[in-house]
Structure 1
Amino acid sequence: MARLALVAAAAALLVSTSAAAAVLVVRSSGPSAGAYPPGKALPDTHMLKLKANDTIVLLDSRGTRSLQGPGSFSASASAAPVKTATTAGTSVRRVRLGAVRGTNTRSVWQADLDRSGNVCVANPADLGLYRANSGSEAHVTLTDAASGAKSEIHFAAGQSIAAWPAALPATSGARITVSGLSTPATLTLKVLSPVPSGLEGMAQSLIRADCQAQLDVLIDTFSARSEG
């Protein structure tokens, strides 16, 4: 009986600890950045004691918020609520998370053609392309560094979004060079498996795979005013 009680107590502690670690650091800079690296999970009860020039961005199921030092801040202070939607069978908070076709609405699952780095892919069919400067038309060439296969993408004036070309399979590890814009770039695809669920799971997956451009979109999409 005593052993059963001990096992039950340990299980309850595990559940309590997992539930408490519900806040994720997604961006940090300043003197305290080393103590709060991106990807660090914080208990709801944690108090952040920040110094001058510290900026910490936290994310939970309600959204993200930015804390600026100096000062003490609760990890559980509320963030602005966000709407939910279902995409690819997963319930997530959505303002630009799912595939967006035929519009200039920014999505997390779009490769930023202006920024070299990793590109996380949840569903290859949903992968898109994004360019920041849509003021004039552009002819962009995507080249698979391994096979030499090329695909030409035409952006009309005012168009910032395009579909990923079917001629270039979105496979993990593929390196795609981008030419035709103001600055050449190289994209390295990272197919996520399993597909992350929820806002926190998505952020953690982007951090682990070092998909910084997409993490920035996620943070900016769900930014909320901080509260101490």
Structure 2
Amino acid sequence: MARMLLIAASAAAILSSATATAAVLVVRSSGPSAGAYPPGKALPDDHVLKLKPSDTVILLDSRGTRTVQGPGSFSVSASAAPAAAVRTAGTSARRVRLGAVRGTATRSVWQADLGRSGNVCVANPADLGLWRADSSAEASVTLTDAGSGNKADVKFAPGQSIAPWPAGLPATSGTKVNVTGLSAPTTLTLRVLTPLPTGLEGMAQGLIRANCEAQLDVLIDTFSAHSEG
């Protein structure tokens, strides 16, 4: 019995240690070594990236994002990485949850980009919003549930880039929504995240697994372009 308890305790310690050290997440990669560093791959703090020419890897952890470009060998730790090869921006959990400031509007990860077809991750349906890139003129956008045919019109005033998700269209997983009224029609596919992601790395992992590319771009941009010291 004592031997079984010792084995169980050892296994738990190993698992806990592995979880604690896998603190850096790959969120983007391109180039010859991209297959070795796919988005969503967790790396321990002491891992060394061995990159070839044309390789680019974007890393994320609680301290911010770091863009690493080859060729060369680079520590994934922000403090150990060569300054010339790594760009770091620290961002608090609260700032990321709210989104990056764009002029007078706040862009959130949980806003659907109306001009870009693809998956839209939903953490809390009550927080789901809409965003348009060009807010120079007023616009009337129609959202149509591809399954039920239900429609909802959303009005944007000049200078307005953000609007709430229409209450008439339930934000359920798998729903396809056709968007018309902007420069080109798009289709959004809703993906409700369950369980809810926790922490910055958990949020990024959720977006990667659900293939919510537009929102992952917002998350990366928030980290890399806006520093809170």
**Does the TM-score normalized on the shorter chain lie above 0.5?**
yes
* CA RMSD in angstroms, aligned pairs only: 2.0
How far apart, in 2, do the equivalents of 1:15 and 1:111 lie?
36
Matched residues, percent identical? Answer: 71
Instruction: Tell whether the 8 Å contact from 2:26 to 2:40 is kept in structure 1 after alignment.
Output: yes
Amino acid at match of 1:206: L
Unaligned runs of 5+ in 2: 80-87
Please tell me whether residue 96 in structure 1 is matched to residue 99 in structure 2. Answer: yes
Amino acid at match of 2:75: S
Partner of 2:33: 32
Q: CA-to-partner distance for each residue in 1:160-194, whole Å, 9 max, x for gaps?
A: 10010001111111100000101110000011111
Partner of 1:168: 169
Match of 1:81 among 53, 68, 90: 90
Partner of 2:111: 110
Deviation at 1:2, TM superposition (A): 5.2
Number of aligned residue pairs: 215
Compared CA separation, residues 95 and 122, structure 1 to 2 (3 A):
closer
How far apart, in 1, do the equivalents of 2:16 and 2:109 lie?
31
How far apart, in 2, do the equivalents of 1:123 and 1:41 lie?
25
What SS class does the counterpart of residue 207 from structure 2 fall into? helix
How far apart, in 2, do the equivalents of 1:138 and 1:95 lie?
25
How far apart, in 2, do the equivalents of 1:137 and 1:11 lie?
58
Q: 1:4-153 residue pairs with structure 2 within 5 A?
A: 4-78=5-79, 79-85=88-94, 93-96=96-99, 104-153=105-154
Amino acid at match of 1:96: G
How far apart, in 2, do the equivalents of 1:73 and 1:60 lie?
16
Deviation at 1:9, TM superposition (A): 2.8
Partner of 1:188: 189
Partner of 1:89: none
Unaligned runs of 5+ in 1: 86-91
Instruction: Tell whether the 8 Å contact from 1:63 to 1:224 is kept in structure 2 after alignment.
Output: no
How far apart, in 1, do the equivalents of 2:206 and 2:162 lie?
24
Q: CA-to-partner distance for each residue in 1:58-114, whole Å, 9 max, x for gaps?
A: 0111121111111111112244432233xxxxxx854518xx9xx621000000000
How far apart, in 1, do the equivalents of 2:140 and 2:11 lie?
60
Instruction: Tell whether the 8 Å contact from 1:64 to 1:224 is kept in structure 2 after alignment.
Output: no
How far apart, in 2, do the equivalents of 1:4 and 1:42 lie?
30
Instruction: Tell whether the 8 Å contact from 1:66 to 1:224 is kept in structure 2 after alignment.
Output: no
Instruction: Tell whether the 8 Å contact from 2:111 to 2:131 is kept in structure 1 after alignment.
Output: yes
Instruction: Tell whether the 8 Å contact from 2:98 to 2:106 is kept in structure 1 after alignment.
Output: no
Instruction: Tell whether the 8 Å contact from 2:115 to 2:133 is kept in structure 1 after alignment.
Output: yes
